[in-house]
Amino acid sequence: MRLLLFLIICQCAIKSVNTHHASNPNVILLMADDLGIGDLGCYGNRTLRTPNIDRLAEKGVTLTQHIAASPLCTPSRAAFLTGRYPIRSGMAAFSRVGVFLFSASSGGLPSEEITFSKLLKQRGYATALIVQIHLSHFNLSSLVHLLVVLMFFSGLTLGYSMNQLMDGNQGVSVGAMLPPVHRHGGDRHLLLGKWHLGMNCESSNDFCHHPLSHGFDYFYGLTVTNFRDCKPGQGSVFLKGAQKSLVIPVQIAGITLVSLAIMQYIGLLKVLFQALAYCLLITAISLAVLIFFFYHFQHLNCFLMRNHQIIQQPLSYENLTQRLTKEALQFIGRNTDAPFLLVLTYLHVHTALYASKNFRGKSKHGLYGDAVEEMDWS
């Protein structure tokens, strides 16, 4: 799961904008998983249609070099939000699995970590996290002096605290860089999309690692990631790994039971029949539990949330992009009177690949190309 973050800075001069908006621009952060730099028209691709991203690039800035804190979702997102190396916040794993796999995992980004969403919220910004956003039907020129940024603070790659951006040898406080504004209520910090930084600590409803505990006013999306297991027909991440992990233990257990039974039969070793039966029963129950888990994984782990409430379980991919787009537009419409932060982390083009009916089969590159073009539309 490599993570591609591309930076586009677009600042539009609007005559009708007042000083308040000019000094406190709205901030929109866009993030796409597993999107190759060569898959966008602005970076030379001629077979995938990405006119909207290309237009942003033409009016903004495109980069060709970048340093990521990690090639995996969980640690890289922790670094993105905090500006610190993942290991400093406990988000770096030393095992083969370096990400959160289950919504019920009792771990996540520590609540005491300072995220840029918390800092902006202190300055009166609304913050939100959503999966997709579609601005083609929204007249931005009549709304605000808009600064579209996919922020990747210097501290993220250099390991500095989010409280301090380095300017030469002098530390510049992020808070000092943001002029004070007054909040007027409402949800103005929006997070749309996958979170993948944990949800609960001690119980199923304490939400200590939830996005709303990290400076966001509104969240709409997945608490983990877009697993292939969540979409029928896309294969399984867990089953393949489980097969490799269980082959040897199951073989050992089977050989042990058979050997004990043979030794008991020929009289070399006296083993209580009851003990053999218990061992066999424990093995059978363990396998049954694993099979049940894999069979019901989609229902247990793939769900859509709005704030603290599960609104769809299991997750349906039907018109998912359109639904997420609607959430983003509604958030922007609710927050025209004050600066806001919208963090949009796409489910595209991470597997499981999907595309709505209007885009399915329309690209020259199969389902992956369909997903890229739908993401550009959004």
CATH classification at residue 354: 3.40.720.10
Q: What are phi and psi of 30, to 5 degrees?
A: -115, 135
Distance (Å, rounded) from C-alpha 126 to C-alpha 211?
A: 13
How many helices (DSSP H) and strands (DSSP E) are in the chain? 11, 12
49 lies in which domain range?
3-227+302-377
Residues 204 and 178 in one domain: yes
308/219 Cα distance (integer angstroms): 8
Are 211 and 255 in the same domain?
no
Q: Please check whether residues 153 and 277 belong to one and the same domain.
A: no
Q: What is the CATH number of the domain that holds 277?
A: 1.10.287
Rounded CA separation 79/11 (Å)? 26
Domain boundary among 257, 280, 300: 300
* β-strand partners of 342: 28, 190
Rounded distance between C-alpha atoms, residue 191 and residue 102, angstroms: 20
Q: List residues bridging with 170 in a β-sheet.
A: 167
**pTM assigned to the model:** 0.70
Q: Locate tokens 């003990």: which residue?
A: 275
Whether residues 80 and 57 share a domain: the answer is: yes
Q: Is residue 122 packed enough to be buried (19+ CB in 10 Å), middle (13-18) or exposed (0-12)?
A: middle
Nearest Cα to Cα of residue 376 among 52, 31, 47, 117: 52
> Last residue of a domain, which of 259, 275, 300?
300
Domain count, the chain: 2
Taking residue 73's Cβ as centre, other Cβ atoms within 10 Å add up to 25
The reply to whether 240 and 139 lie within a common domain is no
Say if residue 128 is exposed, middle or buried (CB neighbours under 10 Å; 0-12, 13-18, 19+). Answer: buried
Asked if 220 and 129 touch (Cβ cutoff 8 Å), the reply is yes
Kind of pairing, strands 304-306 and 164-167?
unpaired
Q: Is residue 292 located within the same domain as residue 169?
A: no
- What is the pLDDT tens value at each position of the chain, 378 positions in all? 333 333 333 333 333 334 445 578 899 888 888 899 999 999 999 999 999 999 999 999 898 887 788 888 888 888 989 999 999 988 887 777 788 788 877 788 888 899 999 999 898 898 888 843 222 333 333 233 333 333 322 222 222 233 332 333 333 333 333 334 334 445 566 666 666 677 778 777 778 888 888 889 999 998 888 888 888 888 887 776 666 677 777 778 778 778 777 877 777 766 666 777 777 788 788 888 877 887 888 888 889 999 999 999 999 999 888 888 888 889 989 888 889 999 988 889 988 899 999 999 999 999 999 999 999 998
Determine which helix (DSSP H) or strand (DSSP E) holds 373, and give its type and residue range: helix 366-377
Would you state the structure tokens that stand for residue 368, as one six-digit string? 């992956």
Considering the domain architecture, whether residues 180 and 281 belong to the same structural domain is answered as: no
Domain end position, chosen among 285, 300, 315? 300
Residues 208, 248: one domain? Answer: no
115 and 259 housed in the same domain = no
Integer Cα distance of 30 and 10 in angstroms = 13
Annotated catalytic sites, by residue?
73, 196
- E strand segments, 50-140: 127-130
